[in-house]
Amino acid sequence: MKGIRVAEEERYRFRVDPHVHSISSGHAYSTIEECARAAAEKGLDAFAVADHGPAIPGSGNLYHFWNLKVVPRRWHGVLVLRSVEANILDTMGNLDLPDKVLASLDLVQAGLHPYTGYEGEGIEDNTAALLAAIAHPLVDVIVHPDNPSYPVDMERLVEAATREGKALEVNNSSFVYTRDGSGDNCRLMVRLAAERGCRLSVGSDAHVATFAGEFSHAVEILRETDVDPGVVINCSLESLEEYLASRGKGLSLG
């Protein structure tokens, strides 16, 4: 039994955390180096610096994202990926960073957040906003689409993400500190994704280095729905590289 349990734990041990915030988000509390050290201690191969886009009050401006190229690619033995948690500003799917900056990043993630100027109301508006973001050629992942504060038509969302080859996020933080009530929406999303062959991303959404690589609540959702970990784009660095290659975004390690 112990061997079976260990094998099961290893099966759901994701080696990359695609969603980690630094102090540049304005309401996160660790430097990039502190996040790298924590990722190394957790045994991660890589993590992505995914700070909030500039529409979030207190977050970094576009120069922060443009200048991520100066951050060491490897820090404390861990690969550091350049990313963003961009804000979807309207039902047309416009984002708060220009395409030139988005194109300089390894991984572009986008979602709906309060206090960013988004004025959509109800399921139709929210669904339209996320569908438009999914259609954006530079967006790779839609973050926490199960947020009950922004209800959506999940079937349409999963269908579009599957068709466009985009990933939907299972966000660990949703079950800890934020977005109360996400559980049922997340289970529906994961079940539909499994049925349709939609890719998933599992992120810690850590706002302090201690929680980098923390996926336990998200993993429980995957286990409940018996999802093959292979559909998760960050189950390994190789898996993430393959996913980005499928999107025409080779991972430059320079």
Q: Which two tokens stand for residue 246?
A: 């499928």
pLDDT of residue 6: 40
Least Cα distance to 18 among 109, 102, 96 occurs for 109
pLDDT along the chain (254 residues), means of 10: 50 96 98 99 98 97 97 98 99 98 98 96 98 99 97 98 98 80 90 97 98 96 92 97 94 66
pLDDT of residue 254: 53
Tally of CB atoms within 10 A around 243: 23
Please tell me the pTM assigned to this model. 0.94
Whole-angstrom distance, CA of residue 185 vs CA of residue 181:
8
Burial degree of 71 (CB within 10 A; 0-12, 13-18, 19+): middle
Protein fold of 2-246: TIM Barrel (3.20.20)
Q: Which two tokens stand for residue 55?
A: 């529409």
Grouping H, G, I as helix, E, B as strand and the rest as coil, residue 246 is helix
Radius of gyration of the chain (CA): 17
Could you state, in order of their start, the residue ranges of all structural domains in the chain? 2-246
pLDDT of residue 181: 72
